[in-house]
Amino acid sequence: MAEMKREFERVRGMRDLDHGHYTEITDEKQVIETTAKESACIVHFYHRDFDRCKIMDRHLEALAPRYFATRFIRVFVENVPWLVNKLQVQVLPFIGCFMDGVLKHRMVGFEELGNDDSFATAALEMRLSLIGVIQAAGPTVSKKRGKGRRKGSDSGDDGSDDD
């Protein structure tokens, strides 16, 4: 019972810190503090006039509620000039993947997503999972994909002879 109470308090504390939401931080110092204290944090550096930044926003907005342990934030590049310089942000969108206060990976533009504006949220989800900034609960099946059945989705027999 005590363990359940501790877990409940931990989750409530994370919820109070906007876990499960995609939030904007406007203060540069707060961005630095947030990335330093979170065990996993995804930071989208954006500009409101860039269409690709708006596309990335939609995908991150969809992912944030699914990965409660990871903090998802966005920062307007004009509000964080020191960070933009320090991280050498030159192409937008720019995603900084922070783990325990350290920048573990940087995603520049849509290079890692096929340089296609119509990439599936599942592609971004898979990439972030491989980086380790989100804990893989399995990639989301995109509605844009084919209608065929997935392997192993019906019966327990996957057709292998490994019995």
Kind plus residue range of the DSSP H or E element containing 5: helix 2-16
Dihedral sign, CA of 58, 64, 115, 106? positive
Per-residue pLDDT, 68: 87
Per-residue pLDDT, 135: 86
| Cβ neighbours around 130 below 10 Å, total | 12
Q: Could you tell me which residues come within 8 angstroms of residue 107 by beta carbon, excluding any fewer than 6 positions away?
A: 93, 94, 95, 97, 113, 127
Mean pLDDT per segment of 10 residues, for the chain of length 163 residues? 60 59 96 95 97 98 93 97 97 97 97 95 95 71 41 43 46
Most distant CA atoms of the chain, gap in Å: 59
- All domains in the chain, ordered by first residue: 17-131 (3.40.30.10)
Q: How far apart are CA 99 and CA 31, in angstroms?
A: 14
| Cβ neighbours around 135 below 10 Å, total | 12
- Alpha carbon 106 to chain centroid, angstroms: 12
Q: Could you tell me which residues come within 8 angstroms of residue 142 by beta carbon, excluding any fewer than 6 positions away?
A: 120, 121, 122, 123
